[in-house]
Amino acid sequence: MKLIAIALCLLALSSAKLWKNQMEDDKLFETEENSNVFWYDQRLDHFNPQQEGTFKQRYYDIDQYWDPETGPLFLYICGEGTCRQPADNSFVVNLAKKFNGRVLALEHRFYGETQPTEDWSTENLRFLTPDQGLADLAQFATEKSREFSEKHGIPHRRWICVGGSYPGALSAWFRYKYPHVAFASLSSSGVVKAIADYHEYDEQVFFSTSKSGSECPERFIKAHKYIESIVNSDNRIEAFKTFGYDKDMVDGEFYYFIGDLVAGPAQYGGRTDFCNGLMAVEDDMDQIIEYLVNFAKQGGMNLETYTAEFTANTTIDYSKNMRQWTYQTCANLGYFQTPAKAEGVPPMRPANIELDFWEDFCERTFGINIFPDADHWNSRYGAKTPAATKIIFTNGGEDPWQHASVTETDNPHLIPIVIDCDDCAHCVDLHGDFPTDAPELTEARSRIADIFEKWIQDEYTMEKTFPSEAMANLRELLSK
């Protein structure tokens, strides 16, 4: 997969897209055999009463630690990739153990096996929006809470939502838009600000790799300039071939891949290993390129998946998420990774992947002119300044996505935590506990747990006074 992703915390190695790579997946999720899988009948369109279609939405239910009397409900939000059951030592399950809670994880529409339409035509993808995804969560969580209330004779319970990357944004937006359904949120690497020209990403890749010494970014910059010179020569196909693709392609697509070679490690907490490896080879261009080629191979990066030809394919394939995620970026969210623009910061990718490349990429992928209006989106969701309460925003100090998230705020009801340590990057707090974890990470997790403990107490006090579903809606107002 590519490095890109944003999203899956762990999903996207591919393009430093939001999702994560396999290595991260293994730290976060159960194997398929150990999973408790269920299906929920969901509305296709929450905003059009004339559209009556439904689809099957996959979810996981981890109920073995739950005490119905005292245990909170955790809504684990999946995003731009296949949803897998959170592992027994992942942070959300550790929270469930600590508080005797229950965790339900809902797969996002159009990803993994949750496929509402028969193909991914551009027309069908109109049902793929964060608004629909949030309404799916509201519908699902409300009905589950009602079911638990009836079955166990407990108050109608609100949820704590948890998510990382794009689901981190959803987690914050959900608490903001549906406070009668969720009373608190953990937004890990939550990219709540839509940004079309996201050059801060590339800038952070420079800052993060510089932690290994200036030679690391310098060698990479030398390499990408060299690669660019080959692309501009008569031998351009050789450049693509070197990285495993033997047809011609658009320059920007290739440069996106080249940028991901270094962005991936910075995003996924592999910066130290990547830089150490890069600096260990001789300072000779052939050796540096060979190192990068091997690095891409080991990470499972596939150059073909960076082409619009690949993302234009409308056939559903459970293992793919590039077309759907690209749609979300082209339609609503942006986050297009362009070269650094800040003064004194050298770009970590070739210079010409600017917005016009991305506009063209969206058009070639979807066959229509579609490009995000970030201001419009941000006016609806509040970007970095939502008028909300009880949201914890965590970010890894090396994560290039942190500039689309909340790392500081004037709102005393929002709690930003920047986890600043070596190789602490995208969604780092959501992973399982490991003996090698930095003290800053361990401390952040225990701080989050302490804050949740207090918020859960507040909620239970309120629940005793207003136990029914109708009265649940009053809780939020009265808790201010």
Ligand X SMILES: *[C@@H]1O[C@H](CO)[C@@H](O)[C@H](O)[C@H]1NC(C)=O
Give the integer Cα–Cα distance in Å for 105 and 28. Answer: 13
Task: With residue 106 as reference, give the H or E element that holds it.
Answer: strand 102-106
Q: 273 or 317, CB closer to ligand X? A: 317
Catalytically annotated residue among 145, 149, 165, 171: 165
Q: Rounded to the nearest whole angstrom, what is the least distance from the CB of residue 353 to ligand X in the complex?
A: 24
Q: Is position 426 annotated as part of the catalytic site?
A: yes
Q: At closest approach, how far in Å is the CB of 370 from ligand X? A: 21
3-state helix, strand, coil in the chain (%, to 5): 45, 15, 40
Q: How far is the CB of 315 from ligand X (least distance, A)?
A: 4
- Residue 89: burial class (beta carbons within 10 Å; 0-12, 13-18, 19+): middle
> Which spans of this chain sit near ligand X (rule: CB under 6 A)?
313, 315, 317
User: Shortest CA distance to 352 belongs to which of 232, 247, 236?
Assistant: 232
Catalytic residue among 25, 260, 399, 437: 399
CA–CA dist 94, 61 (Å, integer) = 15
CB 13 to ligand X: min, Å = 19
Between CA 152 and CA 149 the distance in angstroms is 6
The DSSP code for 108 is: P
Query: How many Å separate Cα 272 from the centre of its chain?
Result: 22
- Residue 123 or 317: which CB sits closer to ligand X? 317
* Residue 362: CB minimum distance to ligand X, A: 19
In the complex with ligand X, the residue whose CB is nearer, 80 or 459, is 80
**Closest residue to ligand X, based on beta-carbon distance:** 317
Nearer to ligand X by Cβ, of 298 and 315: the residue is 315
* 212 among known catalytic residues: no
User: Which is nearest to 422 in space by CA: 273, 215, 301?
Assistant: 273
Please tell me which residue in 46, 156, 224, 426 is annotated as part of the active site: 426
Other beta carbons within 10 angstroms of residue 257's beta carbon come to: 28
Residues 6+ apart with CB under 8 A from 406: 172, 187, 190, 192, 384, 393, 414, 416
Closest approach of ligand X to the CB of residue 469, in Å: 43
CB under 8 Å to 292, separation ≥6 — which residues?
Answer: 223, 261, 278
Residue 399 annotated to the active site: yes
Q: Which is nearer to ligand X, 313 or 352 (CB)?
A: 313
Closer residue to ligand X, CB minimum distance, 84 or 320: 320
What amino acid positions are annotated as catalytic residues?
165, 399, 426
